[in-house]
Structure 1
Amino acid sequence: MLEQDPQSDELPTDEPTAPSGLDAVNQQLAAAYPELSPQLKLAAGYVLEHPVEIAFQSIRKSAGAARVTASTLVRLAKRLGFDSYEQFREVFQSAVQAGPVELSGRASNLRTLASQTDDQVFLDVGDAAFDNIGRLFTADTQTRVRDAAMTLLRAEKIAVVGFRDTFACAYHFAYVGRIAMPNIQLIRGQEGGLLTELAPYGENDVVVAFAFEPYCAETVRALDIAREGGATPIVITDTLRSPLVPGAAITFTVANATPHFFPSILSAITLIEVLLAECVAYGPDGLVDNVARFESRMRAMGAYVSNE
């Protein structure tokens, strides 16, 4: 049975201007989330994590799935400045209909293969992988990728943070990124050294932080230290309800669903590749020179085995 909205759920009478795109809707919801009442938090959480359902389900079905009343969804829409729930839903419909940029054909091919084999685990993991990456390549994400690349290129120093399940993401970003941008540094936080490692980062610097639920306390602490020093945060996480989101200059939410027992990092790794590619593509010529020098040094040191 759904709980009725208590009077404490009443929202301020000041009506903001309705956001024009899904990314703006998500950012406003994430910013408002900590201050919402319990019922509105349930509604906001469902909206953030189920954009396709919001786009095409009836308001009653979405309310039932979110375990709130239909009026709570209406109130949430008005909280963002929309005149009606239908106007709110149209933003989701436009974004979802735009769809992924290129990967739907490959996903369809994978589903076709499912009818030709009985190895369902293999196919389920592959299906989830294609879906996760497909959700990454949208117009909204493309704009944020460009903004993030420009932010990284302007930075004097770049700290990269990610522990436990996202350490592989942080390491990959730092290792590959340093080939072109030597000002990137992986933060390891060993032996209680977070404060020491992050102390040099200030207003002209950027911190890139990775975290998926369950969120690592060390990552949250590292991000807090960097923000207190004035560094600009770029966050890669799994939902806008993540504790890393408040205060972030740019946030990417990546899908990590998988039948596997551990959250998938495939979308995060793909995002890293896109971000670093944009940096090299739109950065100064010196970045290309850095890559060339790195390759020359590695070959001169015998780091590669000849295939001839």
Structure 2
Amino acid sequence: MRAPASSTTTQETAVLENDRQDDAPVDAGPSRLDAVNQQLAEAYPELSPQLKLAAGYVLEHPVEIAFQSIRKSASAAAVTASSLVRLAKRLGFDSYEQFREVFQSAVQAGPVELSGRASQLRSLASQTDDQVFLDVGDAAFDNIGRLFTADNQARVREAARLLLGADRIAVVGFRDTFACAYHFAYVGRIAMPNIQLIRGQEGGLLTELAPFGEGDVVVVFGFEPYCAETMRALEITRAAGVSAIVITDTLRSPLVPGATITFPVANATPHFFPSILSAITLVETLLAECVAFGPDDLVDNVASFESRMRAMGAYVESS
């Protein structure tokens, strides 16, 4: 039987043989897209400029990697085809085709189909000339659609187990992601009183983080431009042995290395500020998963909170 044609040309193979400065393998044999992405994120700071361009394109364009030819992907990434081959080799794959198969399998699992809803939104509003309104809607549906993938479903379950097993949970997010951290802490604390929002006000970051150590978890939010305070909080907790769940905009984020679990969330928008819609949706998904699969105490905590609020007159009763 004739062997399948390789996507790597003789010239590319020659380049690969002659350029070994980046070819020390990281971890061999990744079989899932999240494992590949995590390896790329860990290796990214040490890559050469060409491999950084290649890795950046791979992280940001999984669908294109899955279905484009190696030459087309290389052209879009502004690198040579052999750079993509070397990147695949660096991650422990025998060939670029083997590397690409991981992306093809993941893309076939795909996000929940929301593009139809986005198209419907555009159709319903087509009689107006408010393109900004339409573009924001399209971006919102696309961002959330990218969140609900098979890999993320497994990752959410893993993160929920980590949160449920933690002694204490610190939540960190400053500036553009403070709303995400606050929402996680406010809603999460209703069911899990061991959650603490880290504010870092008036030089209190070290004091607030001092009690956290092994057996604890920190949930960190950060989008580009990444806040120095967020990086500092992550460094402090990592040094203390705290497990980190990182929610960020790309696996090239400096928050990713060393994280126990990473969620890259889409935040594209025509708005002048990064969208937090996917991050807030992820927060709600994580907390729902914790209550659904956690001990009965969590449900009791929610019921007790609501009773206390009503007893104190926190809500306006409808007639």
TM-score by length of 1: 0.94
Q: Provide the secondary structure at the position in 2 that maps to 1:251.
A: strand
Shift of 1:241: 0.9
Shift of 1:208: 0.4
Matched, 1:126 2:143: no
Unaligned runs of 5+ in 1: none
Kept in 2: contact 1:177–1:276 (CA 8 A): yes
Within-5 A mapping of 1:73-112? 73-112=84-123
Aligned to 2:50: 39
Kept in 2: contact 1:8–1:37 (CA 8 A): no
Within-5 A mapping of 1:1-308? 7=19, 9-12=21-24, 16-113=27-124, 115-308=126-319
Unaligned runs of 5+ in 2: 1-14
Shift of 1:44: 0.4
Kept in 1: contact 2:26–2:43 (CA 8 A): no
Mapped partners of 1:168, 1:15: distance in 2:
36
Mapped partners of 1:219, 1:284: distance in 2:
31
Letter in 2 for 1:187: I
Kept in 1: contact 2:198–2:208 (CA 8 A): yes
Letter in 2 for 1:179: I
Shift of 1:118: 2.1
Mapped partners of 2:129, 2:148: distance in 1:
30
Listed one character per residue, the Cα deviations across residues 225-248 of structure 1 (whole Å, up to 9, x for unaligned) are 111111111100011111111110
Letter in 1 for 2:267: N
Listed one character per residue, the Cα deviations across residues 177-223 of structure 1 (whole Å, up to 9, x for unaligned) are 00000000000000111000000001011110000000000001011
TM-score by length of 2: 0.91
Letter in 1 for 2:130: D
Mapped partners of 1:200, 1:16: distance in 2:
34
Kept in 2: contact 1:15–1:80 (CA 8 A): yes
Shift of 1:8: 6.2
Shift of 1:78: 1.3
Range moving further from structure 2, 226-235 or 164-173: 226-235
Mapped partners of 1:15, 1:253: distance in 2:
21
Shift of 1:42: 0.9
Mapped partners of 2:139, 2:261: distance in 1:
26
Q: Let me know the Cα RMSD of the aligned residues.
A: 1.7
Identity %: 83
User: How many residues of Structure 1 are paired with residues of Structure 2 in the alignment?
Assistant: 304
Mapped partners of 2:155, 2:105: distance in 1:
18
Residues 1:86 and 1:164: Cα distance change in structure 2 (over 3 Å): same
